[in-house]
Structure 1
Amino acid sequence: MTVTEAAPEAVKRAGTSVEFRGLRRSFGEVAALDGLDLAIAPGELVALLGPSGCGKTTALRVLAGLEQVDAGEVLVDGGDVTGVPANKRDMGMVFQSYSLFPNLAVRDNVAFGLRLRGVAAATRRRRAQELLELVGLDSHGHRYPHQLSGGQQQRVALARALAIEPRVLLLDEPLSALDAQVRTQLRDEIRRLQLRVGITTLFVTHDQEEALSIADRVGVMRSGRLEQCDTPAELYQRPATAFVAEFVGTMNHVPGVVAGQEVVVAGHRLTLAEPAGARDGQLVKVLLRPESVTLTAEADGQALVSDRSFRGAVTRVTATLPDGTTLLADLPSVTAADLQPGAQAAVRFAPQPVLLAEGE
């Protein structure tokens, strides 16, 4: 089955646009949302990523109608739904906990929302079966939740959310209760289904790998605001701020000295991505990704290799600079054979603009 196959008519519908305009929501003195602006295109999957307390789950709950805002607007297909109650918003939601009814068979769990809407029994059965086929559980309709694995239960929860043909699908860390292998499989399955159905989706997660692998765009949140919302590649390769750079992926903190629009790092001059605010001669910490660092075994090299970790096609080499700074380099395994612990290595950096660490 491929993502380009036509979806069953019961679940196929055009995507819906969503927009947050200046959302503000405080809990006491804590601002969960501080002027959040975000636009989601029809059929797009946007993941919200950020540390605990950044406001990502609050934003999802606001869209669901489960949380009210202090200020701002929520638009769905251009219409203001800010004051519309949750049961009138037509949203499908999947939580971290499966929240299935233990006394109902799988087929009845999927059809539950349709029953509440007064859909005829025959139509409910047909749609439930279509959705179970969509999530690969068409032969499990007679079983009960306790007879399913965690991954299968979450598939049922996803089918139930899609059964009511929601305008928007909301996923609140739906994979965090699953083990690593199942999480990866179901992550890919969710993306396949989302593309197949064409439904606009907001996905909240604290797992950066999850967000980068599943989303059309990823929004990194901090203190109730979006630091950056971009494609996974753009977010990783061209982070807009030091916070985004450090939150997404791994970063080296390497000492440097500002020299005009450049910074000198271990004898190399690199362009500053954000020169404003840095003065000549200022001591700073430069952010460098491990894949931007190259180590070459040389007897008079300035770095000392202290560790190495084989990761298949890539080997992560840990080295120490003369000032004691630890440096991580991700190198092709075929070229890293000489970089054993105790070896001296020359250091080079990719010629690309760099960011400075905050507060350094």
Structure 2
Amino acid sequence: MTTTTLKPPYGAPLHPGSATVEFRALRRAFGSTVALDGLDLTVHPGELLALLGPSGCGKTTALRILAGFETHDSGEVLVDGKDVTRTPAHKRDAGMVFQSYSLFPHLSALDNVSFGLKMRGVGKSERRAKAQELLELVGLPQRAAHYPHQMSGGQQQRIALARALALQPRVLLLDEPLSALDAKVRLNLREEIRRLQQELGITTLFVTHDQEEALSMADRVAVLKAGRLEQCATPSELYARPATAFVAEFVGTMSRIPAVRSGDGVEVLGRRHEVDGVLPAARALQVLVRPENVGLTPGGDAVVTGASFLGAVTRLTVRLADGTEVKSDLPTEQAALLPVGGGATVSLPDRPVLVDVATGK
């Protein structure tokens, strides 16, 4: 597991109450199922950190423990150095936005946003003024009198976000808030959430299983697998220098190409390469390579078996002599010289490669 630390601020003024959040050796099991297995992770003031991973990896459990909706078996959860284990959920200064919106159906947008302020005893005129200000912040001042059933899913989620911000939380928690929305609305809203987060400078944890969301929105991305942190890094580092094979294949597209040990390196496609990271002790090895790093030239033993036009780039699939399929992203004009059914020669750039134990795929 590796982590990358950034120095705040992240290009935005810090929210006056932005907090540092720390998970220390956090463990949580549900019967025989281990949801978190010693999670160590720090979220810096004003940072948007995405928790990314497949279903069941522990990301939502970590979020709910921080919010106070779940308890952990061992370890610590600290906010600005203070252990909040025994702090009730309503006193943790955390605002949470759920996947399902969770708006009160019998309340207008304005009353939904101001509900938390009402529970805290804020006067009617003050809380309505604050709610109206937040509706303007999320771009929905004209929807103040509308009820949830009168609004689209994207609008409801904006109302839920405004409600979470109404209490000026020190930490904003987003639990897959975009997964129930259609693609266009999801794209627009994720840009809006990122804009608001940067404008407010509030410490934010964003749970998602969508790599595109995580890479496009977050300052750093923490990739979880089976309750453990595989890597925490900036999106660019995560993509370009994945620490493990799991990270490499979960974030972006990867092809696996057979390789053989050659001293302290490997030989792949007839050339020797240094190894990026640890060389596994296993005899059967594979190199993991991204499509943009696979070169193709016309003629050779490989066969082009498919082409997907992506605009300026075309993704070609080629089958090596041993049956291995490899993907290559080429400029569309160059890809036109490699028709489906034609021969090709596959090459890799002269730099260290990520190596894993062969999977048998």
Q: TM-score range by the shorter chain?
A: over 0.9
Asked whether the equivalents of residues 191 and 214 of structure 1 are also in contact (C-alpha less than 8 Å), the reply is yes
Deviation at 1:274, TM superposition (A): 3.0
What does 1:179-328 correspond to in 2, within 5 Å?
Answer: 179-278=182-281, 282-298=283-299, 301-328=300-327
Distance in 1 between residues matched to 2:31 and 2:73, nearest whole Å: 12
Aligned residues: 350
Name the residue aligned to 1:22. 25
1:132 aligns with 2:135: yes
Residue of structure 2 in register with 1:33 after alignment:
36
- Which residue pairs with 2:151 in the alignment? 148
CA deviation string 1:38-72 (max 9, x = no partner) = 11100001000111111101000010011111111
- Residue 329 of structure 2 aligns to a residue whose secondary structure is strand
| CA gap 1:358/1:101 in 2 versus in 1, 3 angstroms | farther
Post-superposition CA distance 1:197-234 (Å, at most 9, x none): 11000000010111111000000001111010000001
SS of equivalent to 2:125: helix
Alpha carbons of structure 1 residues 329 and 72: separation in structure 2 relative to 1, 3 Å: same
Distance 1:329 1:222, change over 3 A: same
Q: CA RMSD in A?
A: 1.7
User: How much does 1:358 deviate?
Assistant: 4.2
Q: 2:329 is matched by which residue type in structure 1? A: D
| Cα offset, 1:335, TM superposition | 1.7
CA separation in 2, counterparts of 1:116 and 1:157? 16
Distance 1:129 1:13, change over 3 A: farther
Counterpart among 70, 83, 86 of residue 83 in structure 1: 86
Q: 1:296 to 1:359 in 2, by over 3 A?
A: closer
Q: Return the alpha-carbon distance in structure 2 between the equivalents of residues 5 and 263 of structure 1.
A: 45
Aligned to 1:167: 170
Instruction: Determine helix, strand or coil for the equivalent of 2:184.
Output: helix
State the shift of 1:167 in Å.
Answer: 1.0
Change over 3 Å in CA distance of 1:171–1:316 after alignment to 2: same
Structure 2 letter corresponding to 1:63: L
Q: Following the alignment from structure 1 to structure 2, what is the Cα–Cα distance between the partners of residues 229 and 6?
A: 23
Match of 2:3 in 1: none
Q: 2: distance between equivalents of 1:5 and 1:81?
A: 27
| Residues in 2 aligned to 1:42 and 1:284: alpha-carbon distance in whole angstroms | 42
Moved over 6 A (4+): 3-7
1:96 matched to 2:99? The reply is yes
* Contact 2:50/2:205 (<8 A) preserved: yes
Look up the SS of the partner of 1:257 in the other structure. strand
In structure 2, C-alpha distance between the alignment counterparts of 1:228 and 1:23, rounded to whole Å: 16
CA distance in structure 2 between the aligned counterparts of 1:45 and 1:5, rounded to whole angstroms: 11
Query: Partners in 1 of 2:174 and 2:29 — Cα distance?
Result: 23
Q: 1:275 to 1:227 in 2, by over 3 A?
A: closer
Structure 1 residues 199 and 358 mapped into 2: Cα distance closer, same or farther (>3 Å)? farther
Unmatched runs of 5 consecutive residues or more in structure 2? 1-9
In structure 2, the CA distance between the partners of 1:258 and 1:61, relative to structure 1 (3 Å rule), is same
The sequence identity of aligned pairs, in percent, is 63
Distance 1:57 1:178 in 2: 19
1:120 Cα offset (Å): 0.7
Corresponding residue for residue 354 of structure 1: 353
Q: 2:56 aligns with which of 25, 46, 53?
A: 53
Distance, in Å, in 1 between the alignment partners of 2:284 and 2:81 is 49
Normalising by structure 1, we get a TM-score of 0.94
TM-score of the superposition, structure 2-length normalised? 0.93
Cα distance, 1:180–1:61 mapped onto 2, change above 3 Å: same
Supply the AA of the counterpart residue of 2:179: S
| Correspondence for 1:336 | 335
Q: CA deviation at 1:278?
A: 3.1
Quote how far apart the aligned CAs of 1:240 are: 0.8
Q: Where does the alignment leave 5 or more consecutive residues of structure 1 unmatched?
A: none
